[in-house]
Amino acid sequence: MKLSYKKNFSNCFSGQAHLEPLAWIFALMNLIFVTGAMGLGVFLLVQSLPIMKAEGLDFWLGENWWVGETYGALSMIVGSLMVTALAVTLALPIALSAALYTSEYLSPSLRRGVKGVMELLAGVPGIIYGLLGISFLAVTVKESFNLLYGNTLFTAGCLLAIMILPTVLTLAEDALHAVPIEYREVAEGLGLSKLQTALRVVVPQASSGIVGAILLGIGKAMGETIAVLMVVGSLDRIPGWNLFVSGQTIPSKLGREAAEALGSGLHWSALMGLGLTLFFMVSILTYSGTRFTEWSRR
Amino acid sequence: MKAKAVEKLVLGMISTITVLVVALLITILAVLFVKGYPALHSGFLFEESRDFGRAGGVLYQSAGTLILMITAVLLSLPVALGSVLYQTEYLSSGKLKTFLMQLTYILNATPTILFGLVGYLFFGVYLDAGVSWVTGSLILAVMILPTLQVSIREAVEGLPEKYREAGMVLGLTRSAQIYRIILPQCFYGIVTGIFLGLARVAGETAAIMFTATTFSGIQLPQSYSDPVPTLQTHILILAQEAVNPESLAQAWGAGLVLIGLVFMLTLVAWAFRTRMVMESEL
């Protein structure tokens, strides 16, 4: 990509545009954007090199994170995966059935109402969900499962499920609603019932868009910091198969320790390594998610 | 007969789920209001916080949030506008366009804490701005770039082709087309982007909690290297003292102010977006 900038001038400016000063200003702005975006990845990579050198693969496979001695990220990685998996398992069936109902059965004005509420809620700040989680969800979990401490991986997973619900719902609904009306008319004309039409015609047609919505939801759950940090309990250990214990996710670990390590030493590099791991996980999800969504639009 | 019964059952289930989801989410909003409202005494917005946030109001916290919001958008807007116009008006390579689009999407989904980490190192340490509102604004400006870009791009690409053709027929140069036709016609799209960006900054905590803010003792920043208190971090710290009912009550109050701000900005953004769609249909 970079090469084509230098090699082929006409790629960067169409026609005689390179003679206009405005074009150069815009190109400069674009360069700032590209540097910012790529710089983020490059910085994470360069800054995590010291810890990669010191720990090697043990950085991802080690279980112990003792500041000053050894840095192993496995418990955070497992924690992140478990919390995300729980959130998705809880949110997905609900979000998808509600999306199907909203798109196929609701009247246009009701549909707009539901979409409005969902889009408004998708913008509710993480800190607000954290406040709700700490005052209600954690207490409920503690009491209904008879625990000593309500801040568990389970609590974080449930909270994340509520957080990603509006996003997944509204994106999946967009995909379903984008299926042309003719498909439905033909299917119903052939004698399929409304539900059969929805499940056998509309859903398959919208499938790539729905997959895209799901992947974006997973990415959002995996990267959420503040709400998870408040209810996950922040204890570095591999939880085994028990969800009802305190744990740690990658973002919550970063949020807890970034202020202590600010800017220097192996501890900072270890945090950057965690950040890099998270960046890769989320970027892969996002990339495939947008690809699916684009594919469905065509 | 049996198929009909199954269909009824499934329909009943998914309609119940939909109603429950909407009810759950409306309950969340109601809880926020009920919990937050008692804290909003007449001077809540105009008083300093006292006694480590347990009493008083959120004057300087609100001011801090507003300072970060406005500076971040002012910094981000020229870059977003310039890069979108470059990509839509000047760039001819399709491959490069797709690459830049993907870059926008990935930046949009990047966990915000990573902006905090990398941004602190770059702006705070290398550019020596330290833990300050300047560092915070710069970090947030990068974070909302994709939000602004997407809105602006939507507006520029939705512009009817005949407008450009009219410009070309009149012999306008490309620059003249941009500030005579594209910018005025895309005004509503740009404003939509600005308000969505403001809303996103107002709700952000992870990226600024260790890069731009401090809890108490600071009022308005006196220089570029001062940190500011913000509503978001105020809530975070008060909520972690959840055993203390006074702190928690204040946290709910601040939460209601924050959510009010975010919703207001989002609704204004939508109003402008509707305006944009209406104009483009003329």
pLDDT in tens, B108-135: 999 999 999 999 989 988 888 888 899 9
CB of A29 less than 8 A from some CB of B: yes
CA-closest candidate to residue B243, choices A134, A153, A156, A142: A134
**A54-58, B6-10, B51-55, B219-223: segment of lowest average pLDDT:** B51-55
pLDDT of residue A76: 92
Residues in chain A within 8 Å Cβ distance of B258: 125, 127-128
Q: What is the mean pLDDT of residues B53-70?
A: 86
> Which of B92, B102, B202 is nearest residue A14 as measured by Cβ atoms?
B92
pLDDT of residue B81: 94
pLDDT digits (tens, 9 = 90+) for A81-113: 999 999 999 999 999 999 999 999 999 999 999
| Tokens, residue A227 | 């709400």
Q: What percent of chain A has pLDDT over 70?
A: 93
pLDDT of residue A1: 43
Res. B49: pLDDT tops 80:
no
In a domain, A2, yes or no: no
Q: Tell me the shortest Cα–Cα distance from A27 to chain B, in angstroms.
A: 6
Nearest CA in chain A to B19: A98
Contact A131 B115 (CB under 8 A): no
Nearest CA in chain B to A275: B114
In a domain, A3, yes or no: no
State the CB neighbour count (10 A cutoff) for residue B112.
22
pLDDT of residue A3: 44
Q: What is the pTM of this model?
A: 0.90
Distance CA A59, CA B105 (A): 29
Domain boundaries, chain B: 2-38, 42-281
In B86-211, which ranges are continuous DSSP H helix?
94-109, 112-119, 133-157, 161-169, 174-177, 183-185, 187-202
Q: Which residue has the higher pLDDT, A166 or A295?
A: A166
Contacts of A191 (CB under 8 A, 6+ apart): none
Helical pair B187-202 and B245-281, crossing angle rounded to 10 deg: 170
**A150-154, A216-220, B60-64, B276-280: segment of lowest average pLDDT:** B276-280
Contact A13 B85 (CB under 8 A): no
Strand pairing class (B55-56; B49-50): antiparallel
pLDDT digits (tens, 9 = 90+) for B62-102: 999 999 999 999 999 999 999 999 999 888 888 899 899 99
**ipTM for the assembly:** 0.89
pLDDT digits (tens, 9 = 90+) for B168-209: 888 888 888 888 888 988 888 899 999 999 999 999 999 998
Does residue B117 contact residue A275 with C-beta atoms inside 8 Å? yes
Question: What is the CATH classification number for the domain harbouring A149?
Answer: 1.10.3720.10
Domain limits at A284? 65-297
Contact A14 B251 (CB under 8 A): no
**CATH number 1.10.1030.10 given to B42-281:** no
Residues in chain B within 8 Å Cβ distance of A272: 117
Res. B58: pLDDT tops 60:
yes
Judged by CB atoms within 8 Å, which residues 143-162 of A form the interface with B? Answer: 162
Contacts of A76 (CB under 8 A, 6+ apart): A65, A236, A248, A249, A250, A253, A274
| Tokens, residue B199 | 């809303």
Q: What is the mean pLDDT of residues A180-208?
A: 90
pLDDT digits (tens, 9 = 90+) for A212-269: 899 989 999 999 999 999 998 888 877 777 888 888 999 999 998 888 887 678 899 9
Return mean pLDDT, chain A: 88
Pick from A26, A192, A214 the residue to mutate for testing the B interface (most B CBs within 10 Å): A26
Res. A8: pLDDT tops 60:
no
Name the domain count of chain A.
1
In a domain, A95, yes or no: yes
pLDDT of residue A162: 94
pLDDT of residue A7: 46
pLDDT of residue B140: 96
Left, alpha or beta for A141 (phi > 0: left; psi -120 to 50: alpha)? alpha
Residues in chain A within 8 Å Cβ distance of B87: 30
Q: What is the mean pLDDT of residues A129-151?
A: 89
CB of A191 less than 8 A from some CB of B: no
Does residue B65 contact residue B227 with C-beta atoms inside 8 Å? no
Distance CA A216, CA A293 (A): 10
Does residue B123 contact residue B210 with C-beta atoms inside 8 Å? no
